[in-house]
Amino acid sequence: MLTDFTASSSDLGWYVVNDNVMGGRSEGDFELERGELCFTGHTNTNGGGFSSIRTKPMQLDLSNHAGIRLRVRGDGRRYTWRLTSAARWRGEQVSYWADFDTASDTWRVVEIPFSRFVPRFRGYQLDGPPLDTRQITGMGLMIYDKRDGPFELCLAQVHAR
């Protein structure tokens, strides 16, 4: 278990990054309560069209695991789980994205194998480098489904599986 958002769980230092960093108009935030992290807001595709929450920098070796398991309650929209590592592209940090769908107001377990994570830089897909699971430096949750409107996803658990 990486976190279950309870008092006995590690504080991963979550913070918000919205598309206003590039002139966009989406809004997002999160609340922690009752063992859940609820990520809510409104996306606006007239601009960047994304909202995200990310952990503070960390050092995780997940090489003995096959992927990430999330327990989520969604709204029917598509979300992205994001990982970062020590990898760089032209001197800049690479992020690795894997999309998953949600069902409206239904708790479900989402399994994301590491093989599904695609390297990206500022949203653009790269040819590499591959994800090095020995050097995970951060995690995040993002909505970037190219749709306008409200969103809400609650996260109850994050596991390395």
Task: Residue 63: give the domain boundaries.
Answer: 51-142+155-160
Tell me, yes or no, whether 46 lies in a domain.
no
Confidence of residue 20 (pLDDT cuts 50, 70, 90): confident
Averaged pLDDT, 115-144: 95
Tell me, yes or no, whether 10 lies in a domain.
no
Tell me, yes or no, whether 8 lies in a domain.
no
CA of 35: how far to CAs of 31, 63, 119, 144, 161, in Å? 10, 27, 31, 25, 20
Instruction: Render pLDDT for 48-105 as a digit per residue (tens, 0 to 9).
Output: 899 999 999 999 999 999 999 999 999 999 999 999 999 999 999 999 999 999 999 9
Domain total in the chain? 1
Tell me, yes or no, whether 16 lies in a domain.
no
Tell me, yes or no, whether 41 lies in a domain.
no
Tell me, yes or no, whether 128 lies in a domain.
yes
Say what the pLDDT of residue 122 is.
84
Averaged pLDDT, 11-20: 93
Find tokens 């590690």 and name the residue. Answer: 10
Q: Counting Cβ atoms within 10 Å, is residue 27 exposed (0-12), middle (13-18) or buried (19+)?
A: middle
Tell me, yes or no, whether 29 lies in a domain.
no
**DSSP secondary structure code for residue 4 in this structure:** -
Tell me, yes or no, whether 79 lies in a domain.
yes
**DSSP secondary structure code for residue 9 in this structure:** S
Say what the pLDDT of residue 64 is.
97
Single pTM value for the model: 0.94
